[in-house]
Amino acid sequence: MFTNSLPATILSHMVAVNNVPLPLPRNIPNLKMSKNIDYNQLNALCHMRGLHHGSSTSSVLSVHNTFIKEYPKIFLRNKKIRLPKLSKQEENRKLSESRRKSSRPPPDVSHNIADHVKKAHAGLILYGQKKLTDPSVVLLNILKKLPIHRTPHEHKTVWKILKTIPDLACQLSDEHLKILSKRVISQTWVKGCTVVGNDGFYIILKGLARPKKKPFRSWSEDSDLKSPSTPHSRRHSYILNEEHSSFILTTLNLYSRDSMLKRWNTFGSLEMTTETQPFSVVIIDDCELLKIPAEEYAKLKLEKIKFENEQKSKLIRKCPYYEGWPTLAIYELTDIIKWKKFPPGHVVAESGNILSFVGYIHSGYCKIYRSVIALVKLKSNRAKKCQKLVYMGKLKAKESFGEISVLLQVPFTCTIIAGKDVEMAIIEDKDLFELDPVTIQLMIQTAQPTFGHLTDEDVKNVYLQEELKKDWEEFKGKTLKESLYYNGIKPGCGKWSHSWTSIPRKNTETLIEY
């Protein structure tokens, strides 16, 4: 029973060592020496006492238990074989690696904080291909494409780079520059060419150029014009010009290094001009130029004017007095309208004065006040007359004022104060009087005085109501204070004052928490 449960390999060794005939199973292949078995340990295991058949049953069981415990030790574990250290070879390898590192070019020093964060958290950075950080190189790579083939990210990159050029940013607003950045193109010019900049604005991205000056006449020619024409003077001037003409021209065309146009320098004009000389340059070295065509800028201006005129016409049409006006008359007003802004609290118009403009409120609101003469009590039981402003209402967006005062030269009856930031379109009186007489008459017939429906009695009644309300508030507050302060009782204060920094322990039990 005990021997039949062992493997065939162990049984074979037990037979060989102990010379005990044991029944082996059939069809056992030829036994081979296994590399995974420790035969010394197996030999010691097979020579254990109590493995013979003559032993008692109790000894066989104890030997069996011992055998089962020691049995796993006969199998060898796969251990890594450690080779002896080769100190000389490792030193030579370290020296060769250090030489390679020294011969290898040092990595580029990155100024990006993200690279240093990666290096601190994830080890060394693999410096691969050098990134294009030069704005001119990035811009040239983008401008090689047609504007229609550029991506939104590339359009944004061009816009950001153009914002950094002072000569361009001072002429265009941020919005217009963003539109023009989607229409810029690049040009390549060879050395010796002359670029005329009267049809656009140019930025040098690569190469050198110098401005082309107007030709100068020599001082001898000027002296000939002033001096009397004699044969001797003519002959002298001719000889002088002939000998020194080349010298004068070369000296006039010589320029210092500082006068050269380098990368990121600009020339040309955004406006179309007929003059070519002030905007011309000569290419000294092969140049790559960024061009903003003057035609695109002219289109942008026309679009801007068209958009503003549409806004002005919409504003006028929405005003109550101009709803039935013909389109031609409205277009006459839009040509002379100007935009203006007023901060909160600014006095836009004063009562009793003739206005100098007509206003159309685009955004915000204005407060309307009417003046009234009232009696004010003094401390000495006397009264005096003074002028006070009475709030009568508001002028909201899409409303106008001042037509009657300007056209009929009538004093304005109200005082207008900006309630918050107000943007309005105004027409000055000098421009208004230059309109067609039919348009002027149409404005007089349709417009009405601002808050003209109010009479002096209405203003006085409003003033009296406000004064009565103020008196009542004062009387109510005074009576309430007298009733509460009776016998020294004040709201929120007791009869005794305590300087406790915290509530005593004996008083905390009486507190009720909700």
Q: What is the pLDDT of residues 70-124, one digit of tens each?
A: 878 777 766 556 666 555 555 566 666 666 555 555 555 567 777 677 667 655 4
- Pick the range with the lowest mean pLDDT from 60-74, 111-125, 313-327: 111-125
Residue 388 lies in a domain: yes
Residue 82 lies in a domain: no
Residues 285, 365, single domain; the answer is: no
Q: Is residue 469 one of the residues assigned to a domain?
A: no
- pLDDT at position 454 is 83
Helix (H) or strand (E) holding 253: helix 231-253
Note if the pTM is more than 0.75: no
- Per the listing, tokens 């035609």 go with 295
How many structural domains are present in the chain?
3
Residue 264 forms part of a structural domain = yes
Task: Report whether 46 contacts 3 (CB < 8 A).
Answer: no
Question: Could you give phi then psi for residue 228, rounded to 5 degrees?
Answer: -65, 145
Residue 269's pLDDT band (cuts 50, 70, 90) = confident
pLDDT digits (tens, 9 = 90+) for 283-294: 998 999 999 999
d(CA 345, CA 343): 6
Residues 196 and 52 in one domain: no
Average pLDDT over residues 1-12: 45
The answer on pLDDT for 360 being more than 90 is yes
Q: Are residues 145 and 264 in the same domain?
A: yes
Whether 166 and 34 map to the same domain: the answer is no
pLDDT(261) > 60: yes
373 shares a domain with 233: no
Residue 305 has, within 13 A of its CA and on its CB side, a CA count of 9
Same domain, 427 and 288: no
Provide the residue range defining the domain that includes 291: 135-300
Q: What is the mean pLDDT of residues 137-156?
A: 90
281, 338: one domain: no
CA-to-CA distance for 459 and 372, rounded, in angstroms?
A: 7
Q: Is residue 176 part of a domain?
A: yes
Query: What is the predicted pLDDT for the residue at 51?
Result: 63
Q: Token pair of 245, please?
A: 């003409």
Model pLDDT for residues 458-509, shown as the tens digit of each residue: 888 988 898 899 889 989 888 877 777 766 666 566 555 656 666 555 554 5
The angle that helices 327-334 and 294-318 make with each other, rounded to 10 degrees, is 120
Check residues 259 and 340 and name the one with the higher pLDDT: 340
> What share of the chain has pLDDT > 90, as a percent?
27
Which residues share a beta bridge with 209?
Answer: 261, 283
Residue for token pair 């958009």: 307
Q: Tell me the DSSP string of 97-165.
A: HHHHHHHSPPPPPP--HHHHHHHHHH------SPP---HHHHHHHHHTS-GGG--HHHHHHHHHHHHT-
Instruction: Give the residue from 39, 54, 74 where a domain finishes.
Output: 74
Average pLDDT over residues 440-452: 90
Q: Do 326 and 247 share a structural domain?
A: no
Contact 315, 425 (CB under 8 A): yes
Read off the pLDDT of residues 192-237 as tens digits, 9 standing for 90 and up: 899 988 889 999 999 999 988 654 343 334 434 344 444 433 333 3
Are 360 and 434 contained in the same domain? yes
Distance, C-alpha 301 to centroid of its chain: 25
Is the predicted pLDDT of residue 67 greater than 90, yes or no?
A: no
In a domain, 495, yes or no: no
Indicate the residue among 49, 74, 99 that finishes a domain.
Answer: 74
User: 349: which strand partners?
Assistant: 416
Do residue 70 and residue 145 come from a single domain? no
pLDDT of 2 over the 70 cut: no
Q: Decide: residue 485, CB within 10 A, 0-12 exposed, 13-18 middle, 19+ buried.
A: exposed
Contact between residue 279 and residue 268 where contact means Cβ atoms under 8 Å apart = yes
Residue where one domain finishes, among candidates 74, 96, 123: 74
pLDDT of 130 over the 80 cut: no
pLDDT at 247: 33
What is the pLDDT, as a whole number, of residue 514? Answer: 40
Q: What is the mean pLDDT of the chain?
A: 75
pLDDT score for 124: 47
CATH number at residue 410: 2.60.120.10
Same domain, 333 and 367: yes
Tell me phi and psi for residue 69, to 5 degrees.
-70, -40
Phi and psi at residue 221, to the nearest 5° = -70, -40
Q: For residue 482, is it within any domain?
A: no
Residues 285 and 343 both lie in one domain: no
pLDDT band for position 28 (50/70/90)? Answer: very low
Per residue in 147-198, pLDDT (tens digit) is 899 999 999 999 999 999 988 888 888 888 999 999 898 999 999 899 988 8
Question: Of the given ranges (120-124, 181-185, 349-353, 364-368), which has the lowest mean pLDDT?
Answer: 120-124
511 in a structural domain: no
| CA 435 – CA 444 distance, rounded (Å) | 13
